[in-house]
Structure 1
Amino acid sequence: MNNLNSIIIEGNLVRDPLFRSTAKGTPLCTFSIASNRFYKQDTGIENEVSFFDVESWSKLAESCYNLGHKGRGVKVVGRLKQDRWAGPDGKQRSRVSIVAEHIEFRPEFKREESDQDDPSEAGASENAVTEDIAEMASVAF
């Protein structure tokens, strides 16, 4: 019987994804995400940032490479995997990473280029975009 090994994490890509293939030709995409945690402290609100390595395989790897880029928000559902090896100095090393089973990218909002002469109209559309972003940020995946 398998034990439970499941993780859900949200964050932003730290850098552009790296795409490669195994010797047998299976696509593999690796990337890192930063996940923020805010909490109250006596001096105010504190921010704790954690970084996680993620790997995705096959068609999911191709999608991650095509859709992902530095700074893009992402939600990863997967499992933890521990790699172990002996370092050059003979000491045992280990690393825990996330193997993605499902990935959702946050929507991206692009500013519309307009050649309007009235700056009040341009400001109104910027406010609408800002309100849309604030609304999306309040909605959980």
Structure 2
Amino acid sequence: MNQLNTIHLDGNLVRDPQRKETPKGTPVCTFSVASNRYFRQDEENKQEVSFFDVETWADTAETCAKVLKKGRGVRIFGRLKQDRWEDAEGKTQYRIKIVADKVEFRPQFNKTGKSDDAEDGASEDRVEEEAAELVI
């Protein structure tokens, strides 16, 4: 019986996605997401940023590789996976990544808080509608 292993993450891409294929030709797309956490400590507002590696497969990978770019907002639904390997010195190394089952594309916002898509002549309402439709 599987134990619970789910994650829901909102954030922005910190680099452009990379698309590769397995030896059998299955598309794999990887990218990194930064997620902010805001909190108050000692009467001061603080921000904590965490970075996560994300991996998508098959049709989701194809779509992510075509649509996503650095700075784009995403909402990720998936699971955590731990990779283990031995380095050249024989030491066991570990890395945890997110394997996304579903990715929602969000509008990209600039530092003024406005959607970059809206600055290109699109209304913010239409950008929100389009982002809501881009769910895989």
> Normalised by the size of structure 2, how large is the TM-score?
0.80
Task: Give, in whole Å, the separation in 2 of the partners of 1:36 and 1:91.
Answer: 32
Give structure 2 stretches of 5+ with no counterpart: 109-116, 129-136
Alignment identity in percent?
53
Task: Give, in whole Å, the separation in 2 of the partners of 1:96 and 1:107.
Answer: 27
* 1:13-24 pair list within 5 angstroms: 13-24=13-24
Q: Does 1:5 align with 2:13?
A: no
Between Structure 1 and Structure 2, whose CA radius of gyration is higher?
1
* 1:72-111 pair list within 5 angstroms: 72-108=72-108, 109-111=117-119
* 1:43-54 pair list within 5 angstroms: 43-54=43-54
How many residue pairs get aligned? The number is 117
Which secondary structure does the structure 1 equivalent of 2:118 belong to? coil
Shift of 1:42: 1.5
Deviations 1:98-140 (A, max 9, x none): 0000000103523246xxxxxxxxxxxxxxx6xx58xx7xxxx
> 52-61 or 102-111: which moved more?
102-111
1:49 maps to a residue whose letter is V
Give the structure 2 partner of residue 29 of structure 1.
29
Task: Give, in whole Å, the separation in 2 of the partners of 1:70 and 1:52.
Answer: 14
Which secondary structure does the structure 2 equivalent of 1:110 belong to? helix
Task: Give, in whole Å, the separation in 1 of the partners of 2:98 and 2:6.
Answer: 9
Task: Give, in whole Å, the separation in 2 of the partners of 1:45 and 1:31.
Answer: 29
> Normalised by the size of structure 1, how large is the TM-score?
0.78
